[in-house]
Structure 1
Amino acid sequence: MAAHRRASGPPTKELLRECAHDVVDVAEGIRGVCARTSSVLFAPALTSSAHRRPRTGLAARWALLRALTNKQGLGGSAIVAPDGVGHLLGAAGEALGRESLAAQVAVTSLRLRIAAVLLDHPEFEHDPGIRRLTEAVTAARDPEAVRALRTLFKDQGAQHALAGLTPILAELLAVRGLLDEDPLNDETAWALAVGRDLTADPVTGLGTSRLFAVDQGEGATARSVELSVRERQGIADEGSFLGFLRNIDLLSVDGRVLVQEVRGPDGVLRYVVQAPGTAPGRPRHDSPQDFADAWRNLFMADSPYTRSVLLAIRRHGIPRGADLALLGHGEGGTALMNLAQDDEFCRAYRVTHVVAVGSPVGDKRPADPRTWVAGITNRYDIVPGPDGRGAGALAPHPNRYEADYAGPDREFPLCHMLRVYIEHLETVIPRTAQDIDLALTPYRGPVELTRVYQLQDRAHPPEGYPFLAVPTTSLPTSAGPVDVPVRYYDSSAAHLCYPVDTDVARSLLPDVTWMVPTRLGRRALAVLSLYEHRCTTIGPYTELGLSILVDDLWRPHAYDIAVDLLRRVDLRRTGRYVVSLAVGTEEARAVAAEVWGQPAVHGSAAVDLQGRELHVEAPELGLSVEGGPGPGVRCPEVDWVLYGRRGDSTVRTLVRAHGRLQLHGRPRVRLRLDGAHGPLARHLQILELDTVRPRFVLSSRRFMARRSAGAVLPR
């Protein structure tokens, strides 16, 4: 194998991919052996021989059957027979846990491909949703895998969900198809594993024609909308390649497409359709421009996004036979390429150019052979990878232009963003921009009309309705604007509550006389909060925080906390002061520090709070948590008031939660500290929380929450 042809040393992405290619060739060979052995098993000559000489004929058939079904042989699902009997026997063997040897070898190849992606992009391993999905799929735990996949799909369109799911989704679905007990999706899983074209849904095994019949209601409208004053100022009034891309970048947030009429140098009026990619930064509930449809675009030429763009073109009233150029980014490029493959569409309009930036168009060919197709991909952008071939793998073609380059930005999803591609076209690959601009010469001229169309999907309640259906406002942060309240669609939490020395707790609070720890008897209460946020409006991230219960900032009274818990959260006077906070993403750190006034640092952690045991590993932060919370009883939902500091002011944040909360009175959880690698570990050491167990634990395996903007108090 390829691994043995190289010098020893740490594996590289290319080496892992070569090994994966070699292993899948072995899997194909084993599958061929299965087919040939099955053909002999069901051959008429052997059947008649068994009737004539039962002693030897039946023994031969039994030996072949054992070779095909035994765990030490080719596996339970290895039987192939044209009459379907062998397929039924194979499915029965698979249900009994006798997986096909060929499938197991193919899964090894897929795991090598996943390892190659994670080697080049280690940030994916720290994503809790992706880790959960990967572990469930590769361990063939279907119910858990379905829950994990559903959780990720709830964050449709968010950059972090796209970053975590897109690069390895094809491999994960292939692993699931090869390991599950459903024979309908076996062929599609094999197509994903070996890089052949898909003809069916990789999850259900249904053909694309049946999927289309089920999917008629989506992507049903495209209505004309007005641009804002700022957007009108940014729209290009002269036709050019980079001008069209900047138009797309301007519209890439809320499911809109742009149609422009350009008067060319020869005086002919031509039309340019510009389609953004997957909407970034927040869940999409009313538009086909989301992650789910981005995946469907890969194996369905007729997807909701493609149909919506077609409706926008028809609503614009482009005359039949007119020249048309299609430019798209990401999912938009794939949808436009699907249109260019449609015979009827190409008979209605003359599609002269298709330009796809960061799109997995693969070796798709337009219906009109005269159509000029250009594909631009950053080598570190893995969105073009799910088609199984990747950029630059096409044979030379006179009407095909491929630009596959290694950009300076490797981190995903940054390397997929259109503004980064535009910057690279100006600085890294300016020759590519010049070549495409030259090809688009007929569209270089004044823009006579610009119209924007809003694409809308079928109506259904937004995620988290009605709890998370609240008015929002946008606040600026160093990581970009953020909508508040921040909404948490799918999270898990465990709050480890420790009685601590009051004087030591007081030493960790701000140096002001009016903020004092809440006394429970003679002790104060410190809370170590562990969060795994799988789907939020600021992306998935982990959160580890240390807080101390404090009294009313103006009129502290003994045992205020007992009375306060009976009040609504917005009327409470007590709360928890956040002493230290570590979050898994830079965006979450900026929001915590700048919106909520909490002393947050960026630190990655592996957090798993959904099993019987709590598992937290944070070597960067110097701590870990292991153990079970023990038996629990259901208790009322607890909303929180969190305090932070910004300059000389106190910031008060309300946290409202909705989920099943449990109280564990006899926890077996242990905190371990491996040196003071940061403020969180140092404060835990000061409180000596690693020497004792928590008095009680509050846990919620699954809940929703919303955190308001911090209110600044004059104290």
Structure 2
Amino acid sequence: MGADGHIRGRTVQDEQDTKELLRRCARDVMDVAEGIREVSTRTSTALFAPALTASARRRPRTALAARWALLRALTNKDGLGGSAIRAPKGMGQVLGVAGEVLGRESLAALVAVTSLRLRIAAVLFDHPEFERDPGMRRLMAAVTADRDLEAVRALRALFRDQGAQRALSGLAPLMAELLAVRALLDEDPKNDEPGRPPAAGRGPSADPVYGISAAHLAGQDRGEGAAEAVDLCDQERQTVATEGSLLGFLRNIEVVSANGRILVQNVRGPDGVVRYVVQAPGTAPGRPRNDSPQDFAGAWRNLFLTDSPHTRSILLALADHGIPRGADLALIGHGEGGVALMNLAQDEEFCRAYRVTHVIAVGAPLDDKRPADPRTWVARITNQHDIVPVLAGRDAGSASDPHPNRYEVDYTGPTHEFPLCHMLREYIEHLRTVIPEARKNVDEALAPYRGPVVRTQAYRLKDRAHPPEGYPFLTVPTTPLPTTTGPVDVPVRYYDSSAAHLCFAVDAVAARGLLPDATWMVPSRLGRRALALLSLYEHRCSTIGPYAEIALSVLVDDLWRPRPYDIAADLLRRVDLRRTGRYILSLAVSSEEARVVSQQIWGQPAVRMAAEADLMSRDLGVTAPGLGLAVKGRLGRGLRCPEADWILYGRHGESTVRTLVRAHGRLRLHTGTGVRLHLDIAAAEPMAGQLRRLGIDAARPLFALSCPQFVFHRSAGAVLPR
């Protein structure tokens, strides 16, 4: 047994020696590639030097021969290669592109690819399954041989046979090398620059597949950053750790990983000193979002730039937390959160304000990032099958040496499938069962933070500070008015509503018969007819709650000096100067608060009923079983109309109540031929009776007005002495 153990030990040591030898060879070969590249640059400079160009005019025979020799050295396949010309523009650039298109890779690129192949061989010592898998062998052979079509076919076959997640996670240990090989060997010389940093074991400066500028991609993440203190729910408060430890902090990160939050905790150490721990989760799931910096665009920006909305919002959260200047700070993050916190640790001004003692990142790409304070202890824990750490350009088989004053654990966990292997709960389980020694070492380093938590505060991070809801249209001064259900702020604001108004030409005498018994209130006429409106509303968000609304109204003239056709002239006036308006004959709402406000503040005869409304498309659907009423149909194509401000009239005792309504939305005019009103035989009064008296129950709308989404506010009703 002892001999067998000794033999196995020697075998393991031999493998380690072989891997280290391959990596050293990869570094040496990469140095040669860089040297050849410098020679190509100097040769290109000499070829297109102004002095040699001028000499060619004076002594064409010798000068042209010299330029021809330089050109052959740069373009010949036995020389520096067809794409070795490094002239910034003009004919030199054209020749370089032509060499790439003709398939003559530069000698520097070929030597760099040799270095990458040595690194791939080193990685294969840790992952022999790649050599046994025919799909992986086919893919690696196609990529390193620059056979694009074959590489695409191999990748498709790999995804089809093993599933996308398994194939992607299998590529993780070789991702940087394969992408760099692809960039160096493709036909686009612009991709050589993105391919060189990964080939040299440095972090990429641009996308290694397409050569897209990192600054361009990072520019998609905009905003000045903002932070808002928020409370944890009861279940979260029970889950958050009350004692400082690595696993406790990581579990805290998992608790706040939703909704773009971070956690800041005050921990009293064994020496009685209060220290602070910032805990940041990784990228939020889903598409890029404007409300949170923890998205893909933010992750990409954090990878290349130290300043971002993410880091700025964390700074605002720390300022709000009241951390004293010079206090000890530990930064612990997962994925993108770890990168953002490391970016803060790189900021000299931040390190002058606080003493950053620890940065601990789990599943995060940190390779080329160094803290501004050399005393900061940095720990990095990664699963070799996790793709996210590979984004920094160095993987388990990289030729780069780790930076000093770092503790790095790069392990092969039992979870290989992505994104499962990147999830924080998997890392927590692996620290507990697979790499307990790493957990123990990090906890020892965190000894000053091993104590009771004396304060916990969560902060929601945002890309930008948001204005008040409804700004600027709905940011108006308000006044509370008493009602039987409690005070109500007026004007009442509606933040998200839909509406459809069905306009009917009705008999003027019938309309007059439904108005109050007063000689001064008469319906507005268009010829011999009056106009009645059946208005349908879906209020999804308002200051008196969500509710549906169905209103029947008649257009009326000026209460004091009615004039023929005054309604047409009134539309040209500002809404607060209008004399005409809509008198509400009957109103049905689906909430008690809306009924009380309508009756007591606006003087409208409201009743409560159950209703469902869908008015956000051209297909209208409103049902009110309590009223025995339904509206269904499809609106025709519409024309854009001006804003739909209006005046509403109601009655309160012996007085008329005038309410001003200001709206902002896209109002459209439609023909009403496709919409039908359905009224049950036993429909409820008074609305059903009024509809029948006006003849609306059997008529088609003259036209319809719709606004699928708009905002508006209704003022308090002004009592008029009539």
Which residue of structure 1 aligns with residue 469 of structure 2?
none
Offset from partner CA, 1:46-86 (integer Å, 9 cap, x none): 55664454334312321321331245543332113478763
Q: 1:195 aligns with which of 194, 197, 201?
A: 201
Deviations 1:275-332 (A, max 9, x none): 22345xx534435445554444332223454444344434544444433210112332
Which of 265, 272, 276 is 1:271 aligned to?
A: 276
Q: Please, which runs of 5 or more residues in structure 1 have no aligned partner?
A: 1-7, 153-157, 460-715
* Contact 2:169–2:385 (Cα < 8 Å) also in 1: no
Distance 1:323 1:19, change over 3 A: closer
In 2, Cα distance between equivalents of 1:407 and 1:330: 17
Task: Please name the residue that 1:613 is paired with.
Answer: none
Contact map agreement 2:262 2:281 (CA 8 A) in 1:
yes
Per the TM alignment, residue 274 of structure 1 is displaced from its structure 2 partner at its CA by 0.8
Aligned equivalents of 2:213 and 2:185: distance in 1? 20
Question: Within 2, Cα distance between the matches of 1:160 and 1:224?
Answer: 39
Listed one character per residue, the Cα deviations across residues 243-262 of structure 1 (whole Å, up to 9, x for unaligned) are 11222233445543221122
Residue 64 (str. 1) matches residue 70 (str. 2): yes
Distance 1:246 1:396 in 2: 28
CA deviations 1:396-438 (Å, max 9, x no partner) are: 74xx241436455363546554344434444555454344333
Alignment match of 2:444 (pick from 438, 463, 467): 438
- Per-residue CA deviation, residues 615-636 of structure 1 (Å, 9 max, x unaligned), is xxxxxxxxxxxxxxxxxxxxxx
The structure-2 alpha-carbon separation of the partners of 1:228 and 1:294, relative to structure 1 and needing over 3 Å to count, comes to same
Structure 2 partner of 1:283: 286
What residue is the counterpart of 1:37 in the other structure?
43
Residue identity matched to 2:222: G
Q: State the identity %.
A: 65
Alignment of 1:134-153 (within 5 A): 139=146
Question: Is residue 309–residue 464 contact of structure 2 (8 Å, CA) maintained in 1?
Answer: no
Letter of the structure 1 residue corresponding to residue 75 of structure 2: T
1:475-624 matches, cutoff 5 A: none
> What residue number does 2:81 align with?
75
Aligned to 2:357: 352
Map of 1:694 onto structure 2? none
- State TM-score, norm by structure 1: 0.50
Deviation by residue 1:639-692 (Cα, 9 ceiling, x = unmatched): xxxxxxxxxxxxxxxxxxxxxxxxxxxxxxxxxxxxxxxxxxxxxxxxxxxxxx
2-structure distance, mates of 1:162, 1:233: 37
Q: Report the residue type matching 1:233 in the other structure.
A: Q
| Distance verdict in 2 for CA 1:296–1:83, change over 3 Å | same
C-alpha contact 2:384 2:413 (8 A) present in aligned 1: no
Q: 1:161 to 1:450 in 2, by over 3 A?
A: farther
Cα distance in 2, alignment partners of residues 285 and 134 from structure 1: 35
Q: Retained in 2: the 8 A contact 1:77–1:99?
A: yes
1:323 aligns to 2:328 (yes or no): yes
Q: Give the C-alpha shift of residue 334 in structure 1.
A: 1.8
Distance 1:102 1:395, change over 3 A: closer
Amino acid of the structure 1 residue aligned with 2:63: G
1:307–1:192: structure 2 CA closer, same or farther, 3 Å change rule? farther
Q: CA deviation at 1:340?
A: 0.5
Q: CA deviation at 1:236?
A: 0.3
Q: State the distance in 1 between where 2:313 and 2:122 align.
A: 36
State whether residues 127 and 164 of structure 1, in contact with CA within 8 Å, keep that contact through their aligned partners in structure 2.
no
Computed over aligned residues only, the root mean square deviation of the Cα atoms, in angstroms, reads 4.9
- Structure-1 residue corresponding to 2:456: 450
The one-letter amino acid paired with 2:278 is V
Q: Distance in 1 between matches of 2:281 and 2:117?
A: 32
Select between 358-367 and 312-321 the one with higher mean Cα deviation.
312-321
For these two proteins, the number of residue pairs brought into alignment is 439
Q: SS of the counterpart of 1:90?
A: helix
What SS class does the counterpart of residue 392 from structure 2 fall into?
Answer: coil
CA distance in 2, matches of 1:455, 1:20: 43
Contact 2:220 / 2:297 at 8 angstroms: preserved in 1? no
Read off the aligned partner of 1:283 and give its amino acid letter.
G
| Counterpart selection for 1:372 from 361, 368, 377 | 377
- Separation in 2 of the partners of 1:451 and 1:162? 37
Kept in 2, the 8 Å contact 1:237–1:447? The answer is yes
Mean Cα deviation higher: 345-354 or 26-35: 26-35
Q: Over residues 183-220 of structure 1, what are the superposed CA-to-partner deviations in whole Å (9 max), with x where a residue is unaligned?
A: 555323212221235455656767666665x3452584
Partners of 1:407 and 1:68 lie apart in 2 by: 45
Paired residues of 1:78 and 1:90 also in contact (CA < 8 A)? yes
**Correspondence 1:408-423 to 2 at 5 A:** 409=414, 411-413=416-418, 416-423=422-429
Which of 130, 144, 169 is the matching residue for 1:163?
169
1:28 aligns with 2:34: yes
Q: What is the alpha-carbon distance in structure 1 between the residues aligned to residue 127 and residue 437 of structure 2?
A: 28
Structure 1 match to 2:235 = 230
